[in-house]
Chains A and B, each alone.
Chain A
């Protein structure tokens, strides 16, 4: 039985008045003290009635309930789904059973992760539960952020009607669920982009070449191989170097590299580089897997977590699960990651790096290595600098300075032949990808 602040104040007042009454030989004060003490004692007597013994199980396990017959309060929980996407909803229902012969006034609070929003109903219920009765509490939560989450325990509090004393127990009933990163449909974006098919071609060929079917002409940009220059077209264009572009006629394994170092969580909780990267990785994985391509995933932070290349819907869920659990930790350099994975992937495979490109001096070296081995490197970089600036955590001078550094780095990476996309916070993934081959 726990004392509330109110009961502690009542008791202090009673003792003070009692002693003062004795010192001043004042019966009025002593009488008030005695009444206060009697009031408290009676409330304490009443509260001990509210002894809570309780147990919790999931509703599915309800069948074998022999062991809980002696328990007075039982909580059972059911979730509508154990896997949802960001901004998805989970319906939770808790059944509370009072197996005693006494009516009880209960405060029931089902503990929900802090980031969750209660969309409908309430997870905090005050109720009067009659003897041998049960009731059901239902509420809906919205999951705005990816991750592994646990609902529970169920906290039950019984207190006297005056709120002087209470008994509190936690029913250790936990339910886990998974929130996958939100996915955007990027199909349209890729069709509408200047080069409609980034990685088009026949499927199920694991050792592709550069591609042979002519697609179109475009201006030369630094990093293009000189052998691609179309000299006739250059002559016609009045001095502008023009290069041939080819359709890829085979698809290699696509590797998604997600940067989950601690720096990637810079910015607000719901708007940071890691959140954007995981969403982009999920969308890209869905897109490529829907084309029956083979997709692998590497998440690097304090350690390197990889999902081996595979195809199909099952692979999508494996990737989504890894992305859901990606935590911003550690500072593994990109070079370490590329050194580790390079021997295991086919040359020329498209590699998509999702990283804020910060706090890693090995980026240029790593990309140079990849490019030198003919890997097609695409970097999608959500700017954590921009997140911080938008959240007004960075002053203008600092922002300008860091932005310049970032721009220089991106230019260098572009110079190495990587496709670098600067992904601004307000830009949809579709929009960011539309500019994928814009240089």
Chain B
């Protein structure tokens, strides 16, 4: 006996009942049976490391740069020259004696080892710095900073000692050499950071993320600052280091020559503690200028001067 049809079934005979477009069924059929989450569905989450959390971001960014433009090339050349000078001056002003490796070589009774390590450190700073500057590799640059600072750390007496005996003995010339060393180091740090900054800016310009008006004026301002700021910083540092001459001369001006002479001969004042005193005096003056809002007042005067 034929199967009993439901009373409305005949209405659908010969008809195609389509509940959805065939394409979807086809698409569904083509999908893989696996229920695993596709890789592209998981967002990339970067969990910052302890160091990154401490500094508020990565110390060195892993940015890929475009080929250097003219400004970056100029800065690279400047950085290379300054790094060379810095390494020479570092070698000049930092004796091996008093360093940790000097102590080690003394302990091992191989005196040449201390000198070798000392030179090796300067060499690493130089090569790492050069590589970092031209490859724009921030890690290499950071290593060169650390090494070139590390090489100056020594347990020394208060008296200034240099690595080469041929250097002048005069106090002022010694201090000028020290300042030039410090300036080269600071300028090296600044210019290398400028290389990264301008490379990033150049990339942003070329990808259309940022538009720069009057590029020449902006870069020329930067170059000008690179000249002016070290001079100012050098002068301030000179005043600070010369405090052992400035204080006695002030005391002398006030009329007490004996006290001035005693001060001038004071070991403390000529030592590192004299420099500390100088720093305290100079930066107290600077701090009081900030406290009375002097920079802003000067700026307001300049801004509204000719109105």
A128 touches B35 (CB 8 A): no
Q: Please give the distance in Å from A248's CB to the nearest CB on chain B.
A: 26
B101 within 8 A of A: no
Q: In whole angstroms, how far apart are the Cα atoms of A102 and B160 in the complex? A: 44
Q: Please give the distance in Å from B241's CB to the nearest CB on chain A.
A: 7
Q: In whole angstroms, how far apart are the Cα atoms of A356 and B298 in the complex? A: 66
B53 within 8 A of A: no
A214 within 8 A of B: no
A125 touches B272 (CB 8 A): no
B173 within 8 A of A: no
Q: Please give the distance in Å from B52's CB to the nearest CB on chain A.
A: 11
A174 within 8 A of B: no
B232 touches A42 (CB 8 A): yes
A437 within 8 A of B: no
B179 within 8 A of A: yes
Among A20, A21, A34, A124, find the residue whose CB has the most chain B CB atoms closer than 10 A.
Answer: A34
Known A24-B154, A127-B212, A397-B35: A102·B295 in contact at CB below 8 Å: no
**Considering only CB atoms, which chain B residue lies closest to A398 in the complex?**
B35
Known A26-B153, A31-B179, A32-B149: A48·B296 in contact at CB below 8 Å: yes
Q: Mark B186-218, 1 if CB is under 8 A from A, else 0.
A: 100110011001000100100011111110011
Binding stretch for chain B, among A293-301, A325-333, A360-368, A388-396: A388-396
Q: In whole angstroms, how far apart are the Cα atoms of A167 and B255 in the complex? A: 48
Q: Mark A21-56, 1 if CB is under 8 A from B, else 0.
A: 110111111111111111101111110111100000
Chain A residues with CB under 8 A of B57:
5
| B20-77 with Cβ < 8 A to chain A | 20-21, 23-24, 27-28, 31-35, 38, 40-41, 55-57
Q: In whole angstroms, how far apart are the Cα atoms of A28 and B57 in the complex? A: 31
Binding stretch for chain A, among B8-16, B106-114, B131-139: B8-16
Interface residues on chain B, number (Cβ under 8 Å): 89
B11 touches A241 (CB 8 A): yes
Binding stretch for chain B, among A186-194, A199-207, A258-266, A403-411: A403-411
Chain B residues with CB under 8 A of A24:
153-156
Q: In whole angstroms, how far apart are the Cα atoms of A115 and B158 in the complex? A: 63
A126 within 8 A of B: yes
B286 within 8 A of A: yes
A126 touches B210 (CB 8 A): yes
Binding stretch for chain A, among B121-129, B246-254, B299-307: B299-307
Q: In whole angstroms, how far apart are the Cα atoms of A161 and B222 in the complex? A: 5
Q: Please give the distance in Å from B66's CB to the nearest CB on chain A.
A: 17
B221 within 8 A of A: yes
Q: In whole angstroms, how far apart are the Cα atoms of A395 and B234 in the complex? A: 68
A400 within 8 A of B: yes
**Considering only CB atoms, which chain A residue lies closest to B23 in the complex?**
A424
Q: In whole angstroms, how far apart are the Cα atoms of A24 and B155 in the complex? A: 5
From the candidates B155, B193, B217, B303, name the one contacting A72 in the complex (CB within 8 A): B303
Chain B residues with CB under 8 A of A5:
55-57
Q: Please give the distance in Å from B195's CB to the nearest CB on chain A.
A: 12
Q: In whole angstroms, how far apart are the Cα atoms of A50 and B94 in the complex? A: 40
Q: Please give the distance in Å from B156's CB to the nearest CB on chain A.
A: 5
Q: Mark A90-125, 1 if CB is under 8 A from B, else 0.
A: 000000000011100100000000000010011011
Known A219-B15, A396-B33, A397-B35: A422·B21 in contact at CB below 8 Å: yes
| A198-223 with Cβ < 8 A to chain B | 219-220, 222
Known A26-B154, A26-B272: A51·B300 in contact at CB below 8 Å: yes
Q: In whole angstroms, how far apart are the Cα atoms of A386 and B27 in the complex? A: 10
**Considering only CB atoms, which chain A residue lies closest to B194 in the complex?**
A162
Among B182, B213, B296, find the residue whose CB has the most chain A CB atoms closer than 10 A.
Answer: B182
Q: Please give the distance in Å from A259's CB to the nearest CB on chain B.
A: 20
Q: In whole angstroms, how far apart are the Cα atoms of A222 and B15 in the complex? A: 12
Known A27-B272, A128-B217, A392-B40: A34·B279 in contact at CB below 8 Å: yes
B19 touches A424 (CB 8 A): no
**Considering only CB atoms, which chain A residue lies closest to B148 in the complex?**
A32
B93 within 8 A of A: yes
A39 touches B40 (CB 8 A): no
Chain A residues with CB under 8 A of B230:
39
A387 within 8 A of B: no
A31 touches B178 (CB 8 A): yes
Q: Please give the distance in Å from A327's CB to the nearest CB on chain B.
A: 24
A240 within 8 A of B: yes
A163 within 8 A of B: yes
Chain B residues with CB under 8 A of A102:
299, 302-303
B303 touches A125 (CB 8 A): no
Q: Please give the distance in Å from B83's CB to the nearest CB on chain A.
A: 16
B24 touches A105 (CB 8 A): no
Known A22-B276, A32-B149: A407·B20 in contact at CB below 8 Å: yes
Q: Please give the distance in Å from A356's CB to the nearest CB on chain B.
A: 14
B156 touches A403 (CB 8 A): no
Q: Please give the distance in Å from A439's CB to the nearest CB on chain B.
A: 8
A17 within 8 A of B: yes
Q: Please give the distance in Å from B161's CB to the nearest CB on chain A.
A: 9
Q: Give 21 CB contacts A-B under 8 Å.
A: A20-B153, A24-B156, A28-B178, A30-B272, A32-B149, A32-B152, A35-B183, A38-B233, A39-B233, A41-B283, A42-B232, A122-B209, A122-B210, A124-B209, A125-B213, A160-B225, A161-B222, A219-B15, A222-B8, A392-B40, A393-B41
Given pairs A26-B154, A126-B201, 16 additional interface contacts (CB within 8 A): A6-B193, A18-B276, A22-B272, A26-B152, A29-B153, A31-B181, A32-B152, A35-B186, A38-B234, A49-B298, A49-B299, A72-B303, A105-B221, A125-B213, A127-B218, A395-B34
For the complex of A and B, 7 pairs with smallest distance between CB atoms: A48-B295, A38-B236, A127-B213, A38-B233, A122-B211, A35-B182, A407-B19
Q: List chain B positions with a Cβ less than 8 A from chain A.
A: 8, 11, 14-15, 19-21, 23-24, 27-28, 31-35, 38, 40-41, 55-57, 93-94, 149, 152-158, 160, 178-179, 181-183, 185-186, 189-190, 193-194, 197, 201, 204, 208-214, 217-218, 221-222, 224-225, 229-230, 232-234, 236-237, 240-241, 271-273, 275-276, 279, 283, 286, 290, 295-296, 298-300, 302-307
Q: List chain A positions with a Cβ less than 8 A from chain B.
A: 5-6, 9-10, 17-18, 20-22, 24-39, 41-46, 48-51, 72, 100-102, 105, 118, 121-122, 124-128, 135, 137, 160-163, 219-220, 222, 240-241, 386, 389, 391-393, 395-397, 399-400, 403, 407, 410-411, 422, 424, 427
